[in-house]
Each structure stands twice: as structure tokens, then as C-alpha cells.
């Protein structure tokens, strides 16, 4: 008989066992995501630097192949499936490049609107404000979608019912994504490396994870009363802390 896992991760997110496959560009494609997800964990597809129409096309192909592997017969969108039968989809975005232009925001929103992934992972950095974008110098065929009803990339994901895993390397970054309403935090310690690693101001994973847990609980530096009255993240239900050295639930 298979063990039934009851953790905050499995209660709030799609997997039935508390394991997440990281979205690594060039590695985390449809087949690895499928192999991970079919075990009960949550696989992911890496969008990486999602900056051109070609990268958007390649991600479309990976998502379609992912669904095909789940016997969805190559559906081009998820509109032909129901929430009950659709396999969970998680996609990771490198944000400093992906959200660097108005075309980039439109490209991501088109993807969200078309596929409605259950989860996205944002990193390098995890939070980007909409007002920070600048135009690209190259032309693009990306279609502009709905008028913006969001102020940052986390709100964009929530607009389409997608939960957000925000990868941060400092306590200050954690504060910002919590204020923005992230559903989950990944603590990136300096020993983990990777995109967005903050060697200059970051710290080891265990120390960073401990401080983030304190933030989520609203007990940081004796300012519980202040935060409980001014910050919505005071009520964040849970925090998932992960790195190369393990996971805290």
C-alpha cells in the first residue's frame, strides 16, 4: 500500500509526495517533468530566459509534449482538459531577462492565459515590478493581451490562478515577495549557487531559512505587532525552504 503523505506542501500544491523537480534550463524538459510527476512528485519545465518568440515556441512544444506523454493526445492548449484530469504543470522563469520589456510581460501573460500552469517558480530575481520594464529594440510578433491588472510578476501569476514559488537569496528579498503575496519561498543559500545567487549579501541556507521562517511567523526582531497590523504576509500559511542541503517542511 502506498504511503499517503500529509504535509503543508502536499496540502497546498499538486504533488502527493513532498518532492519538487527544479526547473533547470536545458535539462528540465517535458520528459524529465513527466517522469517526475508520474511518481507523485511535481516535475517542472524550464522556460529559462523567456525573451524571444522562438523561446516561447520552444516552451509551447515542451508543454505540448508533456501533455502528450500523459495521453492528452498533443492538445495545443489546456482548454480541452478539465482541472480534474489535467496533469499538474510547473514552469520556471529567470526573471531579470524574462520581464525586461513590455513584450516580455505580454509573452508571459499569453503563456499564462493559454496554459494556466498550476505553479510557477520565479528567480533571479523572484519579484519584478511592472513599472520597471523597458522596450526591446527588436521587433516581436507577440500579441498584447488584457490590459494590466497587476503590479508585479507574482500578481500576474495569481491573475490566472497560478501559485508562485519565489526563490530568494536574502532576508530582504524574502520580505518583498511575502509583501507581494507569494505562496511559497525557496531559500537559496550561497553554497547552492545558481542564477541570482547573492554571494555578496547572502548567507548559508540554514541561517537564511531560519530567518525566513521567523519572518513568516511574524516574530522578527520583536516587531510582531507592527507586522501583524501592516503586512499581509504576516498571515502566510506556510513556507517551503529548500536548497542543496535538504528541505524543511
Cell of 128: 519584478
CA–CA separation, 144 vs 155, rounded Å? 18
CA–CA separation, 62 vs 137, rounded Å? 28
Cell of 68: 502528450
Residue 76 has pLDDT above 80, yes or no: no
Long-range contacts of 180-184 (CB under 8 A, 24+ apart): 180/127, 180/152, 180/154, 180/155, 181/154, 181/155, 181/232, 181/233, 182/126, 182/127, 182/154, 182/236, 183/12, 184/12, 184/13, 184/238, 184/239, 184/240
- Residue 167 neighbours by CB under 8 Å, 6+ apart: 121, 122, 123, 124, 126, 185, 186, 188, 196
pLDDT band at 202 (very low <50, low <70, confident <90, very high): confident
Residue 147 has a pLDDT of: 52
The full set of domain ranges for the chain reads 8-134+144-248
pLDDT band at 218 (very low <50, low <70, confident <90, very high): confident
CATH topology of domain 8-134+144-248: TIM Barrel (3.20.20)
Residue 3 has a pLDDT of: 64
- Pick from 66-75, 80-89, 228-237: least confident: 228-237
Cα dihedral sign, 219-247-42-84: negative
Instruction: Give the global pTM.
Output: 0.77
| Measured CA angle at 106 (ends 90, 111), to 5 deg | 30
Rounded mean pLDDT, 73-80: 42
**% of the chain exceeding 70 in pLDDT:** 73
Rounded mean pLDDT, 218-223: 48
pLDDT tens profile 118-162: 999 999 999 999 864 444 333 334 444 455 588 999 999 999 999
Residue 83 has pLDDT above 70, yes or no: no
Rounded mean pLDDT, 163-186: 93
Radius of gyration, CA atoms only, the chain = 18
pLDDT band at 2 (very low <50, low <70, confident <90, very high): low
Residue 73 has pLDDT above 50, yes or no: no
**Side-chain half-sphere CA neighbours of 212 within 13 A:** 36
Amino acid at each position: 500500500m502506498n504511503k499517503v503523505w500529509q504535509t503543508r506542501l502536499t496540502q497546498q500544491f499538486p504533488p502527493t509526495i513532498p518532492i519538487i523537480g527544479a526547473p533547470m534550463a536545458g535539462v528540465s524538459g517535458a520528459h524529465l517533468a513527466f517522469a517526475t510527476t508520474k511518481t507523485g512528485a511535481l516535475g517542472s519545465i524550464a522556460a529559462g530566459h523567456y525573451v524571444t518568440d522562438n523561446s516561447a515556441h520552444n516552451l509551447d512544444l515542451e508543454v505540448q509534449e508533456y501533455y502528450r506523454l500523459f495521453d492528452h493526445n498533443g492538445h495545443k492548449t489546456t482548454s480541452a482538459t478539465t482541472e480534474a484530469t489535467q496533469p499538474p504543470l510547473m514552469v520556471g522563469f529567470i526573471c531579470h531577462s524574462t520581464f525586461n520589456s513590455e513584450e516580455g510581460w505580454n509573452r508571459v501573460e499569453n503563456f499564462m492565459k493559454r496554459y494556466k500552469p498550476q505553479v510557477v517558480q520565479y528567480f533571479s530575481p523572484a519579484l519584478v515590478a511592472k513599472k520597471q520594464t523597458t522596450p526591446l529594440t527588436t521587433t516581436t510578433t507577440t500579441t498584447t493581451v488584457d490590459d494590466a491588472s497587476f503590479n508585479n510578476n507574482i500578481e500576474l501569476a495569481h491573475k490566472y490562478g497560478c501559485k508562485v514559488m519565489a526563490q530568494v537569496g536574502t532576508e530582504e528579498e524574502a520580505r518583498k515577495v511575502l509583501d507581494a503575496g507569494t505562496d511559497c519561498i525557496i531559500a537559496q543559500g550561497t553554497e547552492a549557487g545558481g542564477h541570482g545567487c547573492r554571494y555578496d549579501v547572502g548567507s548559508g541556507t540554514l541561517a537564511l531559512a531560519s530567518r525566513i521562517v521567523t519572518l513568516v511567523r511574524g516574530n522578527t526582531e520583536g516587531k510582531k505587532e507592527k507586522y501583524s497590523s501592516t503586512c499581509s504576509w504576516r498571515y502566510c500559511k506556510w513556507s517551503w525552504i529548500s536548497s542543496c542541503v535538504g528541505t524543511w517542511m
